[in-house]
Amino acid sequence: MNDINDLLIQAIGNPARGDDGLGPRFIEELSKRAMLATHTQWDYQLSIEHAELFSKYKRVLIVDASKSGNGPFQFSTVLAGQNTYISSHILLPQNILALTQLLYHAYPQVYLLAIKGEIFNLSENLSKVAEFNLYETMRFVQTTFNL
Amino acid sequence: MSRKITIDPITRVEGHGKVTIHLNDQGEVQESRFHVVEFRGFEKFIQGRPYWEAPVLVQRLCGICPVSHHLCSAKAIDEIVGVSQSDLTATAVKMRRLMHYGQILQSHALHFFYLASPDLLLGIQSSFDRRNIVGVALDYPDLAKKGILLRKFGQEIIKVTAGKKIHGISAVPGGIHKNLSLSEKNLFYQGGEIPTIHEVMKWAQETLEFYIEYHKKNKSWLEGLALCQSNYLSLVRPDGAMDLYHGVLRAIGPNGERILDDVDYHTYLEHFAEDVKPWSYMKFPFLKKLGIDRGWSRVGPLARINTCDFIPTPLAQAALEYFRCYHGSRICHTTLSYHWARLIELLHAAEVIAQLLDDPDLQQSSLIVTGQRAKTGIGFLEAPRGTLIHHYEVDEKSAITMCNLIVSTTHNNEAMNRAVNAVATQYLKNNQELSEGMLNHIEVAIRAYDPCLSCATHAIGNMPLHVSLFNSQGHLIHERYK
């Protein structure tokens, strides 16, 4: 996992909704630490065009806020899937990966990093718990992805 | 025994809605309702904010059509700073138009390829697990790829005109914040990461042709589902041409007769009122002169195809002429023809974008004008889903004291309720067991309107549908969540 040029860090979240802004903040913190060689992007939600974007990377790390789960964060591998709930314009990571494989014949390794948040009300600030969890997550990512 | 059915949440729409169907003792549909159960009250939230913040703040209504709110609000706020649409510089108007048509293109592409095509291409009764964009990608990979690239093209147009793909900042009171540089313009001609405008026009034509062939093969159910005669409402250019950015207000009746004859939209309060129902947060607008029962109108692509006299771009005009010839009528009432109309507009948007990209006014530097402050501003726009209205009043301290937002989906509220009732009456008979495919017919009728329930209730939210079935005693006997 040393070739960071092959890595996309894709954050998801709304920075105006309190801890839902964990993903965008993650990207901001990454930029402050001068890890600019890593390709990063943040969006409010995943949509169909991410299938094409993901096809251009060997590895994709999706960073999102989570309302549940134990510990500061949960890290998992995403497996392509069709048989999931598809409702509004929002697509799930497993659907995006399925589209990447089907349409672009690309098979990136996709990981999901869900950082635990606590307060999701209208606010541009993270809660104290979220700030702590973000710090713990940054340490994990730096080590795991050798950033 | 009578029953009540609930579909909650409705899927593949933007927002959270639910349907309830009441059956009588004979198992026949007695009444159906489409409920919108989200609420945030954005009109109150914005009160007290300085007027210049409005074009940026209102975009937070929606992550799907923020450009429409941004531009409609900017048009209203122009009037607060004493600038009429004819006062704006050519660069400002054309940059805003380019942004708007980019939004129309990406929104229509997203709806057709992602939300509607699973029903149309995979079959309305096909397996729920497979009836989604991944299923379309399996069976129609080339079509799915074109959909993604059309959407991407529209998003990139928004990015170079609005400054960002979502929640842009460039439309400001009295004009625009930036022009289009030559390097930005060239992005849409050179190919590579972004398709060229020529490819986009070709794909828009191919997609329309694909749909027409599909329609011919499936004419019976496409034209029979949720058929509904109604009034139609939209802006048109003063000469009767389709214009999605600016114009006069035209409403026509089921036979094409004029109800509003190209009136100045600033007079809208003289013509419209809104009804409320205790079971939905979405209001029911109607034309006062016809009353609540007869004054409701449909808006959006089918309405615009019906109200306009012509489309001022050649390929879309040819498509309009074929559409009218095919249906054998100047006015088309077929609900699922919203899809066809949407694809004609997608082609029109591509043609308008091509014209604008070639216009040297976009590289000029005169961007903002000023005028005499006013207390009221009203903006109208044809958003992807229909006529959008922003109305503000401000005090002497520049704070917004009143905000009235009537969004596109709200105009279609009565039509969606009638569509649900028509489909339920057609398909739910004799107390038969409910299947997911049967309930999907109801959702297909709602989905044709591409409703944005978040915008319609000014809510943030998760958007899915819930259908409930109640008996004549009002007891819930069956419900389905998706």
Nearest to B450 by CA among B58, B98, B20, B104: B104
For residue B310, the 8-state DSSP code is B
Within 13 Å and on the Cβ side, how many CA atoms surround B412? 31
Whether A44 sits inside 8 A of B114 (CB atoms) is: no
User: What's the rounded mean pLDDT across residues B452-477?
Assistant: 57
Residue A46 has pLDDT above 60, yes or no: yes
pLDDT tens sequence across B397-434: 999 999 988 888 888 989 988 888 888 888 777 656 66
Weakest mean pLDDT among A66-75, A76-85, B394-403, B432-441: B432-441
Chain A positions with Cβ closer than 8 Å to B:
16-17, 43-45, 47-49, 51-52, 82-83, 85-89, 91, 95, 98-99, 102-103
When the pLDDT of each residue in chain B is averaged and rounded to a whole number, the result is 87
- Chain A interface, best mutation among B134, B146, B151, B193, by max A CB count within 10 A: B134
- Predicted pLDDT at B477: 65
Residue A136 has pLDDT above 90, yes or no: yes
**Residues facing residue B241 across a β-bridge:** B310
Whether B64 sits inside 8 A of A47 (CB atoms) is: no
Nearest to B389 by CA among B76, B14, B65: B76
- Predicted pLDDT at B207: 95
Weakest mean pLDDT among B5-14, B156-165, B231-240, B384-393: B5-14
- Predicted pLDDT at A86: 54
When the pLDDT of each residue in chain A is averaged and rounded to a whole number, the result is 86
pLDDT tens sequence across B50-91: 999 888 888 766 666 789 999 999 999 999 999 999 999 999
B134 CB within 8 Å of a chain A CB: yes
Residue B219 has pLDDT above 80, yes or no: yes
Confidence of residue B462 (pLDDT cuts 50, 70, 90): very low
- Predicted pLDDT at B463: 38
Cα angle: B148, vertex B153, B157; to 5 degrees = 145
Whether A89 sits inside 8 A of B115 (CB atoms) is: yes
Confidence of residue A10 (pLDDT cuts 50, 70, 90): very high
**Structural domains of chain A, ranges and CATH numbers in brackets:** 4-144 (3.40.50.1450)
Q: Which residues of B touch A87 (CB under 8 A)?
A: 9, 11-12, 462-464, 482
3-class secondary-structure state, position B46: coil
Contact at 8 Å (CB) between B159 and B84? no
Confidence of residue B460 (pLDDT cuts 50, 70, 90): very low
Residue B128 has pLDDT above 90, yes or no: no
ipTM passes above 0.90: no
Whether B460 sits inside 8 A of A43 (CB atoms) is: no
Residue predicted with more confidence, B51 or A83: B51
Q: Which residues of B touch A83 (CB under 8 A)?
A: 129
Helices B197-217 + B141-162 axis angle, to 10:
140
